A and B are shown apart, each in its own frame.
Chain A
Amino acid sequence: MSYHIQITVNGTVNELDVEPRLPLVYLLRETLGLTGTHIGCDTTSCGACTVLVDGTPVKSCTMFAVQADGCSIETVEALAHGGELHPLQKSFWEEHALQCGYCTPGMLMTTKALLARNPKPSEAEIRRAISGNICRCTGYQNIVKAVQRAAAELSQPAAAAVAD
């Protein structure tokens, strides 16, 4: 049995018929072709699949697409604008905050929500915010540095306009 839903993904409104058992991450990757959101564990442990649902980080492997009816979803694809990387993406690049890049889309979405809520987080607050996102390569140190760098950049008025 399929259900009619309306979800906005990265600003585009989608009217879709979905089976209730379809996890949101599969809708994003397979139905909409947005493969930037990764699947790691597929069972709520790693955070690779983190997207923003109405601005809040959610593990999209652990939410059915039907539950997102009427919601606005933001994925990593929404960050760059016309080839211009988001300050967080630039900082991840500059600070070598990724190696294989598997965790990166989830890290970016979680930290984007953090900076929206708390523009000047302490190191402890950053570490706490990303504690649901597992990285097996970089050792977190550079991820923390990247978030601090992005926070500094975003707190300058000129950069803030680029952020959303």
Chain B
Amino acid sequence: MIPAAFEYAAPKTIAEALALLRGKDGEGKILAGGQSLIPMMRFRLASPSLLIDIMRIPELRVFKEEAGYLRIGAAVTHAQVESSATIREGYPLLFSAVGIIADPVVRNRGTICGSLVHADPAGDWGAALLAARAEAVVVGPEGERRIPLDEFLADAFTTVLKPDELLSEVRVPTPGPRSGGNYQKIERKVGDFATAGVGVQIMLNAQGTVEQAGIGLCAAGPISRRAAAAERMLTGKMLDDATIAAAEAAAQADPTADTRGPADYKKDMFRVLTARALRAVRAAVEASGGRT
């Protein structure tokens, strides 16, 4: 299973990478961690004529908090996020998601941005980062554009990226005071994609009612999406058992069956996982005396 022949380039700057993309008229492909693309090439599901390896571009290694955001550059791996103290302490949603993505060896190479561009219907970063209200920073010949993740993820394995653009980073709003986040996933075995995945990010106001709610689902349909009805249901309410019960029912949506589970099972799992995530968030906010 050797892939079809291709050319390879490892540019040192974003500008060079964009020039290479343009030069190939859509035939070139970005190579990040390769943990999705290389298996696809080996199965000959993809046969790009040029691979543009972006892992040697220093600009894309950005991974820091700045002006109310966490910037995660395109060359940042799952493993870097997993071992970061900033993530462990300040981004519980991301921290609880990253450790259950793929397996530890895959996490050493795979990237967050690569996952988003790959846009697997069961990709965990889609669900987690939709809940976090992250935005995609896209660069192309016309410069930079910022796109809310809801719009960036278009369909199964499809984003709004044009062939001459690349995703340079994803920006995650830094959670404010009285915030909490959590990710829940059901998988058949370690390293499998989700049968159902739910990300939750909540911010309470000083009175203890929900100021802002983000809920993202994956493996529910062609692409990760927000559970907007459940988010609305939470907003303005105390995070008590009655609210959680209403929200879990609203988050069920209409999952489509796939090889990992039938629709009715998934539907029930979205309910269960939403409730678990909301309870975990409530417990964390209470434990921190509302400071999380």
Interface residues of A (CB under 8 A from B): 1, 3, 19-23, 26, 42-45, 47, 50, 56-59, 61-64, 66-67, 69, 110, 128-129, 131-133
Q: Which residues of chain A are within 8 angstroms of B106 by Cβ–Cβ distance?
A: 44, 59, 62, 132
> Closest A-chain residue to B42, C-beta based?
A43
Q: Which residues of chain A are within 8 angstroms of B109 by Cβ–Cβ distance?
A: 58-59, 62-63
Interface residues of B (CB under 8 A from A): 1-8, 10, 31, 34-35, 38-39, 41-43, 51, 53, 55, 79, 102-106, 108-109, 190-191
Dominant secondary structure at the B interface: loop
Q: Which residues of chain B are within 8 angstroms of A50 by Cβ–Cβ distance?
A: 105
Q: Which residues of chain B are within 8 angstroms of A66 by Cβ–Cβ distance?
A: 8, 10, 53
A3, B9: Cα distance in complex, Å: 10
30 contacts between A and B (CB under 8 A): A3-B8, A19-B5, A20-B5, A20-B51, A21-B2, A22-B2, A23-B2, A26-B2, A44-B35, A47-B103, A56-B108, A57-B105, A58-B105, A62-B35, A62-B38, A63-B34, A63-B38, A63-B109, A64-B34, A64-B51, A66-B10, A67-B31, A69-B10, A110-B104, A132-B102, A132-B103, A132-B105, A132-B106, A132-B190, A133-B105
Picked from B8, B39, B43, B53, the residue with its CB within 8 Å of the CB of A62 is B39
- Please indicate which of the listed interface residues B10, B34, B55, B103 has the most CB atoms of chain A within 10 Å of its own CB: B103
Q: Which residues of chain B are within 8 angstroms of A61 by Cβ–Cβ distance?
A: 42
Q: Which residues of chain B are within 8 angstroms of A110 by Cβ–Cβ distance?
A: 104-105
Picked from B3, B10, B35, the residue with its CB within 8 Å of the CB of A21 is B3
Closest chain-A Cβ to B27's Cβ sits at a distance in Å of 15
A129, B107: Cα distance in complex, Å: 11
Q: Which residues of chain A are within 8 angstroms of B51 by Cβ–Cβ distance?
A: 20, 64
Top 5 nearest A-B pairs (CB, nearest first) are: A132-B103, A20-B8, A132-B105, A131-B190, A43-B39
Q: Which residues of chain B are within 8 angstroms of A56 by Cβ–Cβ distance?
A: 79, 108
Closest chain-A Cβ to B99's Cβ sits at a distance in Å of 8
Q: Which residues of chain A are within 8 angstroms of B7 by Cβ–Cβ distance?
A: 1, 20
Q: Which residues of chain A are within 8 angstroms of B38 by Cβ–Cβ distance?
A: 23, 44, 62-64
